[in-house]
Amino acid sequence: MLVLVLGTLLTVRLVTTTRAWERTAADWEDLARTHGTQLAQAQTDLEAAHAELADTQTQLATAQQRITELADEKARLGDTTASQQQLADYQARVSQAAGQVATALANCIDGQERLIGYLRESDRYDAADLERFATDVDRVCGAATDANASLQRELDR
């Protein structure tokens, strides 16, 4: 009789243990599925991040190329501006030199015309005064010659 009771107790113990293991196995499976789901989500996120990184790298390469192009365009524009400024400076110097030539020539011609007039009526003027005036006209015409030489030098640059 005692053996029967003890056998029953042993059976109960085995059944209890088996059910506890069944519950534990089920819990482990739930945990595994949860982590499996999280892993799948993480892999999806990682793939998305990789794709985003690739897009960003492409955009960075494009941006770098564009920056280099813009820097080049700006530099060339600066070259053109500097070149045009030099041309403008040159033209200003030529114009100034040409104006000086024109003014000096006008003064020379005016002086020579007046000298011719004085010489036509030379008996009315003092010879020394005429000589002095002629020297002045030569100096004015010499200035015109110098201005023209300066213009020619600018044109040759």
Site residues for another protein per CB under 8 A: 2-3, 6-7, 9-10, 12-14, 17, 20-21, 23-24, 27-28, 31, 35, 60-61, 63-64, 67-72, 74-76, 78-79, 82-83, 86, 90, 157
- Listing DSSP states for 11-64 in one string gives HHHHHHHHHHHHHHHHHHHHHHHHHHHHHHHHHHHHHHHHHHHHHHHHHHHHHH
Which residue's structure tokens are 């993480």?
42
Longest Cα–Cα distance in the chain? 180
Cβ distance to another protein smaller for residue 67 or 119: 67
Cβ distance to another protein smaller for residue 36 or 142: 36
The CA-CA-CA angle for residues 27, 32, 45, to 5°, reads 140
In angstroms, give the least distance from the CB of 98 to another protein.
18
By residue count, the chain amounts to: 157
Cβ distance to another protein smaller for residue 88 or 116: 88
In angstroms, give the least distance from the CB of 31 to another protein.
6
Cβ distance to another protein smaller for residue 2 or 127: 2
In angstroms, give the least distance from the CB of 6 to another protein.
3
Q: Which two tokens stand for residue 39?
A: 């892993």
In angstroms, give the least distance from the CB of 30 to another protein.
8
Nearest-angstrom CA–CA distance, 40 and 44: 6
